[in-house]
Amino acid sequence: MKMKYSGYKGKILRINLTTKKTSTMEITDEFARKYLGGNGFSARFIFDMVDPRIDAFDPTNVVSMMTGPFQGINIPTAGKYHMATKSPLTNGFFDSISGGHMGAEIKYAGYDGFLITGRSDKPVYIFVDDDNVEIRSAEKIWGRLTSETQEMIKEEIGDPKICVSAIGPAGENRVRYACVITEYRAAGRGGVGAVMGSKNLKAVAVRGSGTNEVADPEKFEEWMKWFNEEVKKVPALASGLPTYGTPVLVSSINNMFGAMGTRNHQTEFFEGWEGISGETLKKNYWDKDTACPACPIACSKVFSDKSGKWKGAISEGPEYETIYSLGSMCGISDAGAVIKADSLCDEYGLDTVSYGVVVAFMMECYQRRLISKKMTDGVEFKFGNDDAMVGFVEKTAKRIGFGDLMAEGTLRAARIIGGNSERFAIQVKGLEIPGHSARALRGMALGYATATRGGSHHDPRPTGEYAGASDRKAVEGKAAWVIGTMQMTTIGDSLVNCHFLERLLGFTLTQKYVDMINPVTGFGYTYNELVDVAERILDLERAFNVRTGIRRKDDTLPRRFLEEPIPEGPSKGMHTDEATLNRMLDEFYELKGWDKRTGIPTKEKLLRMGLEDVAVVLEKL
């Protein structure tokens, strides 16, 4: 069916790995306008298709692989695709976007996305070649690293340019924070890779011969011109990120803000910051720049250790979050070790943030004598021990020895280890917290506590607080600010777009997003309608989570953050205590139209969002 709006193919491919049946499902104009794409599509499909009470490895769980209207039209910062599932880490709705030209290929093949369910009895990969969909044996590539896997599939298909998204051994072994790798980019965090592994699905390979169109080519051209000029005026996009990549953040976050989690957040100033700063990486480790398709910012870098202890280690990355998790969090100041572990995490298919925070957590358990060498397979889990940090990537991915516990993530590990260790498990709702301080940035405190995904910096955004667009110490008005950043990321994740656009379009959801979307889709959105799209998607996500048991009681932070102020540095004394968090939460629910006592979206709000059917489901709770 030809759609009225542009940017869509009007078709979702459904694949049942148990029955091996495939079918297609239509996307209507109304649906597209209401849910936009990527994040919004997945939230709706997963709410409708997944029983919230199942475990993430249940064969009826769904892996959603989606695009938005922006893929395949060469718009900068949209060289991405989107994945979603019920997460084995948080048990809630989870989505992740990843770089790579997978998004464009899905569009070119004639789809807006794939919904994969069931479980194959043997390892397989899916090959989508326009209308031709094959479920092929992956028995020979099971067990392989992600780069080998991509290579072997390209070779088997006989097309070196085909796009492959693959899991590594971590996904196969259901490590709860296993990711999906496309080229060197990860759909990370909540364990989409583990869900693929539970389905015996090693990879998805896609090749398309079609195109994707925009509604108003002239207006779109205008917008592109505007973008290309404006991007040069923003220092971070014009110079900071292109020169150093995201590691540029290390020196400012550590030295200006004193907000770089160190030794499992026992402090937030890392004395060894210079060894892992963007400047050091650029000077001593840089090989070349790379970029997502069509992106002028080119924040990706290839770094290698040229003469250090980890000589020969080479990685596309590490990003700032990885430097935080594998570096300062573990008390490690040798960039070579971080590069080595980063590349191993990519190859084994582990999320670097969660992995690093797990290592840091175990190091603090070791420091406090809650665990001993007897349990850690004889390895000294001391802060700064880069051999432990690097060495356990493979063991975690393969669940060997102590790696089996590490594969479960901090929350589950804390509950096993006991001794009050949950107090310093740096996670919210099971997801490990990345490198933007919940203590130094008030918005991140409220944002982590309430985010659909848990401890994620892609629900609320820290960027505006760093830039001073919102006072990072303020309590008043913070709920509205956080909601605005969440609306922005939700729209971005539905367009399947990079969040760095925020520096150009405003740090929250602005009219500029509307101006960018309308020429592509022809929706003719008003600003208010776009806000409603964002709120509708966020309410759907919350509704799914509510059905898994999530309530206000779960919208909280690690006890350490609530009770221990930052002990030193530029943010010394800062944190958000329980009373302050509760004040902000009250305001947050009030503004969202969620019940203050329970944190459940009210019927009125759901009806206002056009989610009558969701209201009916929640009424039965």
Binding residues (CB under 8 A) for its own copies: these are: 16, 18-20, 51-60, 88, 91, 117-119, 121, 371, 374-375, 399-405, 408, 412, 415-418, 547-553, 598, 620-621
Minimum distance, C-beta of residue 411 to its own copies, in the bound complex (Å): 9
Phi first, then psi, for residue 620 (nearest 5°) are: -85, 0
Count helices and strands in the chain by DSSP H and E runs: 27, 17
**Distance of closest approach, residue 401 Cβ to its own copies, in angstroms:** 5
Helix spans in 293-434 (H): 320-322, 335-348, 352-367, 386-397, 403-406, 409-417
Pair 233, 334: CB distance under 8 Å: no
Instruction: Please say which residue, 195 or 562, places its beta carbon nearer to its own copies.
Output: 195
CB of 398 to its own copies, least distance (A): 11
Residue whose CB is less far from its own copies, 163 or 170: 170
Residue 118 or 443: the one with the smaller Cβ distance to its own copies is: 118
Return the number of the residue (16 or 582) whose C-beta is nearest its own copies: 16
- Amino acid letter at 119? R
CB of 612 to its own copies, least distance (A): 17
Question: Toward its own copies, which CB reaches closer, 149 or 376?
Answer: 376
Q: Which is nearer to its own copies, 21 or 232 (CB)?
A: 21
Question: Alpha-carbon distance 480 to 462, whole Å?
Answer: 14
Per the CB < 8 A criterion, the answer to whether 250 and 276 are in contact is yes
Which C-beta is closer to its own copies: that of 436 or that of 552? 552
Query: b/e for 350-368, b at 16 or more Cβ within 10 A?
Result: bbbbbbbbbbbbbbbbbee
Q: State the minimum distance, in angstroms, from the CB of residue 125 to its own copies.
A: 18
- The least CB distance from residue 551 to its own copies, in Å, is 6
Alpha helices by DSSP H, listed for 36-123, are: 38-49, 102-108
DSSP string, 7-25: S--SEEEEEETTTTEEEEE
- The one-letter amino acid code at 554 reads D
Within 8 A by CB and 6+ apart from 621, the residues are 546, 547, 600
Beta bridge partners of residue 205, listed in sequence order: 127, 164
Q: What's the min distance (Å) between Cβ of 193 and its own copies?
A: 17
User: Which pair of tokens denotes residue 481?
Assistant: 């600010």
- Quote the tokens at residue 550: 């999530």
Q: 3-state secondary structure string, 420-455?
A: CHHHHCCEECCEECCCCCCCCCHHHHHHHHHCCCCC
In angstroms, what is the C-alpha Rg of the chain?
22
Closest approach, Cβ 606 to its own copies, in A, equals: 17
Nearer to its own copies, 141 or 546 (CB): 546
